[in-house]
Amino acid sequence: MPRCLSRPYPWLWRLFAAVAALWLALLTPAAAQSLESALSPGVLTQSHAKWQDDCASCHVRFDRAAQDRLCADCHKPIGQDLRQKTGFHGRQKPQACRSCHTDHKGREARIVQLDTKAFDHRETDWVLRQAHAQVECAKCHLPGKRWAEAPQDCQACHRKDDVHKGSLGTKCADCHTEKNWKEARFDHATTSFALKGKHADVACADCHPKAKYAGVPTTCVGCHKADDKHKGRYGEKCESCHGEKSWKTISFNHDSETRYPLRGKHRAVRCDSCHTGALYREKTATDCLSCHRKDDKHQGSLGTECAACHQESDWKQTGRFDHDRARFPLLGKHADAKCEACHKPGPKGTPVYRDAPRSCIGCHRQDDKHAGNVGEACAACHGKRSWKIPRFDHDVARFTLRGAHAAAKVRCADCHQDLKHYRDTPRDCIGCHRKDDKHEGQLGTACESCHNDRRWKDAPYDHKLARFALLGAHVKVECGACHKTLRYRDAPRDCLGCHRADDRHKGAQGPACESCHNARHWKLAQFDHTRQTRYPLTGKHQPLTCEACHRAPAPAGRKTAPLGDSCQSCHRGDDVHDGGFGLRCETCHQTSGWRELLARRRTSPSPSPASGVPR
């Protein structure tokens, strides 16, 4: 194969290049252009077609670095972006134009090889946000237009969508957003009609029908003529009475603008309740009967001075009338009674005031529980403060009320079952409390020997009289804990009679519980192991329970089963030596602590000389 001249002879290749350059420089311009055309790598794209025969427009002979400058001379907007670091080209890293744009590929070739799916629009002056991010490229980048020539104003793309037909100008962003075209964010406060009160909740279309925003009326009547209940009788200054917070809330000041201030219940009355004429300005009567003639329950019998009894705060509360002038002052419960409770309707159906009775029986005959048997002097027992709380002095009745009998919760009717006759009421306990006798008469009728009238359930009985004095823990025990049947006399007196279920010994120690236990506390046994046995309890043996050692049942005639005094009697299962050291555990161990050894030199059993068995 022929050798490449540039590799073994580099100087020869350089010489050839220099001669070719000199030869081209000596050629005439026409000859040089003809030669460049002959050496052209291909046909230019349609956009560069007019420079097909003019290579110098884009190229400088033997100077490839000058090509970018020539590109910028023609593409001035891009050159400006590169200098100002703006636009898509200005945000890219510095690189040659030919790294992205290629030519000489034919008339129909695309000079821009752009991956539209991977293109990041954030590198341009038009970042795609919200709804724009979902639009296809071809919707904005039209055929025959450069990529950079896509419009950036709303009208350029949305002119057909403009329901305002251009009447509001081209600043669509003042109201609309890219998120949703139909969600307007217009600040109405920037206009001459700020939205306040109920107006702030109204939809735009309610005031701006057919998307008409210019020339919209700003007066109340301009929008609410159809809502005018007055049919224009009061002019067009609706705001003199109505407000934007609520159309139905009238702000008319009746106190300052009329000679009839509204007070009490009058403040809550509807306007048309009093103003029944065609116009509010027509003179309206200010006396009570002009409006309330139909409400007059007295039918004119008491005249027209309604204010003498009634008031504006509440028509039915006739607190103004001074009843002291009627020769019957209202005291106690009478002051709270309604008028019609005493002043009943007369023959004409109207309440009678002047002829109303003044005696108790005159009004309360039907309330007399005594049916007239006690006479008509009700005030001797009852008072005006409360009918049910009598003033009767019970001391004069040979039965003074003391203790629980005098309590407020005891009613007269609790003892006086027949309200017609009080004198026949029994005075002994059984007379009233026979049903309450839990002993069913077995303890007699002298209830006061245990009970008193201060506390029926807490009887102050002296238990020493029952041959069983209450000592120690027995003092705090309730009666029912020992006296199950309330017969009292049949209650057992020995320990097992009540504590058989509590006997941990299951009867093995016999019924004489008091030989070890006492009444102060069941668990504090008083058995002295040192003096009453031949085995004093020392060290760790002291806090042990009796059952810890005395496990076997006791034989007949003994409280406990016989128990040896050697350690092996209880600790045979604890012997880790398995009997290797014999039965004299106390030789090494002591009761203060099993692990506290007395003979520490002996650490393992030694074999017996005779048998070889450890000792």
pLDDT in tens, 429-448: 888 888 888 888 877 888 88
Confidence of residue 608 (pLDDT cuts 50, 70, 90): very low
Mean pLDDT within 171-200: 83
| pLDDT of residue 320 exceeding 80 | no
Asked if residue 32 lies in contact with residue 73, where contact means CB atoms within 8 angstroms, the answer is: no
| Phi and psi, residue 74, nearest 5° | -85, -45
Q: Give residue 538's pLDDT.
A: 92
Question: How large is the average pLDDT for residues 486-490?
Answer: 77
Residue 415 tokens read as 């003892």
Task: With beta carbons less than 8 A apart as the criterion, state whether 30 and 20 touch.
Answer: no
Flag whether 301 is in a domain: no
Q: What is the pLDDT of residue 12?
A: 65
CA dihedral 271, 272, 278, 282 (to 10 degrees): -50
At residue 6, the pLDDT reads 40
pLDDT given for residue 152 in this prediction: 83
* pLDDT on residue 280: 66
What pLDDT sits at residue 77?
A: 86
7 vs 524, which has greater pLDDT? 524
pLDDT tens profile 82-100:
888 888 888 888 888 888 8
Indicate the average pLDDT of the chain.
Answer: 79
- Count of other CB atoms within 10 angstroms of residue 89: 21
Angle at 283 between CA 278 and CA 286, to 5 degrees: 120
Q: Which domain holds residue 586?
A: 566-615
Average pLDDT value for residue range 376-399: 78
pLDDT band with cut points at 50, 70 and 90 for residue 536: very high
Q: Which residues on adjacent β-strands are paired with residue 593? A: 590
* Position 258 in a domain: no
- HSE-up of residue 236 (Cα within 13 Å, Cβ side): 8
Distance CA 412, CA 419 (A): 9
Q: Which candidate, 42, 46, 100, 93, places its Cα nearest to that of 71?
A: 100
For residue 75, tell me if it sits in a domain: no
Q: What is the pLDDT of residue 1?
A: 36
Asked whether the beta carbons of 398 and 427 are under 8 A apart, the reply is yes
- Name the domain count of the chain: 1
Residues 458-492 as b/e (b if ≥16 CB within 10 A, e otherwise) read eeeeeeeeeeeeeeeeeeeeeeeebeeeeeeeebe
Contact between residue 353 and residue 340 where contact means Cβ atoms under 8 Å apart: no
Confidence grade of residue 197 (pLDDT, cut at 50, 70, 90): confident
In a domain, 573, yes or no: yes
Q: Give 567-607 pLDDT, tens digit per residue.
A: 888 888 888 888 888 888 988 999 988 888 875 544 444 44
Q: Is the pLDDT of residue 318 over 80?
A: no
Q: Are the C-beta atoms of residues 178 and 129 closer than 8 Å to each other?
A: yes
**Nearest one of 204, 227, 201, 228 to 216, comparing CA atoms:** 204
**Helix (H), strand (E) counts: the chain:** 21, 0
Residues 283/275, Cβ–Cβ less than 8 Å: no
How far apart CA 177 and CA 47 sit, in angstroms, is 37
In which band, very low, low, confident or very high, does the pLDDT at 54 lie, cut at 50, 70 and 90? Answer: confident
Amino acid 606: pLDDT: 41
pLDDT at 163: 80
| Torsion from C-alpha of 444, 446, 448, 450, nearest 10 degrees | -30
E strand or H helix at 207: helix 204-207
Q: Report the candidate in 587, 583, 613 with the shortest Cα–Cα distance to residue 602.
A: 587
**Cα torsion 32, 35, 41, 44: sign:** positive
User: Is the alpha carbon torsion for 143, 145, 146, 147 positive or negative?
Assistant: negative
Q: Which residue in 49, 163, 176, 166 sits closest to 105, CA to CA?
A: 49
Reply yes or no on whether the pLDDT at 612 is more than 50. Answer: no
Task: Let me know if residue 614 belongs to a domain.
Answer: yes
pLDDT at residue 23 is higher than 70 = no
Contacts of 381-384 with CB under 8 Å at 24 or more apart are 383/332, 384/331, 384/332, 384/333, 384/334
Q: How far apart are CA 471 and CA 492, in angstroms?
A: 16
CA-only gyration radius of the chain, Å: 60
In a domain, 255, yes or no: no
8-21 pLDDT per residue, tens: 455 665 666 566 55
Residue 611 has pLDDT above 60, yes or no: no
Lowest mean pLDDT segment, chosen from 125-134, 193-202, 519-528, 605-614: 605-614
| 188 part of a folded domain | no
Question: Does 331 map to a domain?
Answer: no
pTM of the predicted model as reported, rounded to 2 decimal places: 0.31
pLDDT in tens, 240-259: 888 888 877 777 888 887 88
